[in-house]
Structure 1
Amino acid sequence: MPFATTDDAVRAWVRGWALSRGAAEPAVEPWGFTVDVGLPLPREVARHVLPAADETTVRKITENTAAPGVWLKTFVPPETLQAWLAPGWALAGGPGFLMSVPLDGPAAAPGSLARGYRLTGWTRGGVTRAVVRAADGSFAARAQVAVTGRSAVVDQVETHPAHRRRGIGRVLLRTLADTAARAGSTAAVLAATPDGRALYESAGWRVLAPLTGATRVAPDGGA
């Protein structure tokens, strides 16, 4: 396991995610972290992350948070979190997984893209972004990695439907893992959707815990 405990992986993910998204530095709470994200409704205003969620804590937080746009992130299955939520809250974002992989050092080569594709990348403020374009210059895929010392967070992995099953995602993952390893990271972590899980597992990532979100429902019924 690249992290000593799942809790260590969660802490690394929170720090790296905040850096990757340009959010505020995570504020430490007795039960975990609060991150000011700062996006307007209907997107995410802030999030609470509970590394070790329990019914009492979840109930207390959701009973005392009335503002829409606040999210809760936990590492329990959806059915468990659903039963703990106070009225006015709902599961959101779909089921997910916290995954990790060891970084054993810079690879000899990240692999090559299929003919016609071109990868470009840039680094700014501790975040490296990589974009793949097709031969006509159109968007094919993207991903980014935030390096926070000995750990790194891979984020915003997306492949256009028309360009899937061509090995682009694996090349992006290897490229970003190599970037993080060269910067001194020894392990990486990410949040995966069910669709993305297969790609990550094929690249050597393993599931550490379920990842389930919920948000306060707006008065009009939207999140």
Structure 2
Amino acid sequence: MTKIESELIRRWLRGWTVARSLPEAESVESAGDGLRSRCDQPGREVEVFALRADEEPESLTRLAAAVAAARQPTWLTVPTLRPGTVEAAVNAAGLEVLHRSEWFMTADLAGHPRHAPAAPYEREVRTEGPVTVVSLHHSSGEVAARGTIAVLGADAVADRIETDPAHRRRGLGRAVMGALAEAAVAQGARTGLLIASAEGQRLYSSLGWRREADVVIARGPVVPSSR
């Protein structure tokens, strides 16, 4: 494989925006280069996702220039099989690389391992429409781990898989992922999609998730509005 398919990125992004209750992403000005999502987070008002950085490097150059000129805090996320080339391009545009070692991953959910949490943890599963949230509660009442998955047709996008530092190394991440996969399959999903942080990659790999591409994430400087 010489590139990550743009349709795979689009499928992930559709589920990611649903999982986070964000508006549907829109095309950037240069049609086909990427998609823009309004995140409305402090320091991350807008995020731009590159669709064809590997097959057409000029498209990444255009996106990076647009992010560098943005007047709102804007991130640029680039799934790629050529992370070194991407990092050089975003640096040349004056962007700051925030993450250079994240992975775009997929999984066959039908065969996803299931792991029940051991005592003193109990599982709570809440589904509203296409979104399922799994929480693992300690007997003290605090949330020890949690995660979200959004199902759109045959795809399920996992997001915000978190374990409280005080409860790590107890298999809770595996229990959360297993419960999310089980809920997604029950809703008709077959393929899992996610972007894995460096910390989560070992967990997902151990559960059968496959690395499809690297992900480089950069941030542009804020350009002051002219008065």
Cα pair 1:122 1:128 within 8 Å, conserved: yes
Change (3 A) 1:8 1:63: closer
Counterpart position of 1:30: 32
3-state SS of paired residue (1:195): coil
Report the residue type matching 1:116 in the other structure: P
Aligned residue in 2 for 1:88: 94
In 2, distance between residues paired with 1:20 and 1:174? 17
Deviation at 1:87, TM superposition (A): 3.9
Equivalent-residue separation in structure 2 for 1:194 and 1:89 (angstroms): 21
59-68 or 156-165, larger mean C-alpha shift = 59-68
C-alpha separation in 2, matches of 1:214 and 1:24:
22
Verify the 8 A CA contact 2:107 2:209 in the aligned structure 1: yes
- What is the 5 A alignment of 1:26-65? 26-28=25-27, 29-39=31-41, 41-42=42-43, 44-53=44-53, 54-65=56-67
Query: Could you tell me which residue of structure 2 aligns to residue 7 of structure 1?
Result: 6
- Give matches, 1:74-85, under 5 Å: 74-76=78-80, 77-85=82-90
Matches within 5 A, 1:1-223: 6-28=5-27, 29-39=31-41, 41-42=42-43, 44-53=44-53, 54-65=56-67, 66=69, 67-76=71-80, 77-85=82-90, 86-104=92-110, 110-218=114-222
Measured after TM superposition, the shift of residue 78 of structure 1 is 4.2
5+ residue gaps in structure 1? Answer: none
CA distance in 2, matches of 1:75, 1:141: 27
Unaligned runs of 5+ in 2: none
Matched residue count: 212
Letter in 1 for 2:168: R
Question: Counterpart amino acid of 2:8?
Answer: A
Give the secondary structure class of the aligned counterpart of 1:52. Answer: coil
Structure 1 residue 194: deviation in Å?
A: 1.6
Structure 1 residue 6 displacement after superposition? 4.0
Residue 218 of structure 1: how far off its partner (Å): 3.4
Q: String of CA shifts for 1:133-179, please: whole Å, max 9, x gaps.
A: 21111221010100111101000001112211111111111111111
Letter in 2 for 1:165: R
Assess if the C-alpha contact under 8 Å between 2:46 and 2:72 holds in 1.
Answer: no
**Offset from partner CA, 1:105-126 (integer Å, 9 cap, x none):** 7x8x933211110111211242
Inter-partner Cα distance in structure 2 for 1:173 and 1:131: 11
Distance in 1 (CA, whole Å) between partners of 2:167 and 2:18 is 28
- Distance in 2 between residues matched to 1:73 and 1:64, nearest whole Å: 13
Q: CA deviation at 1:219?
A: 6.2
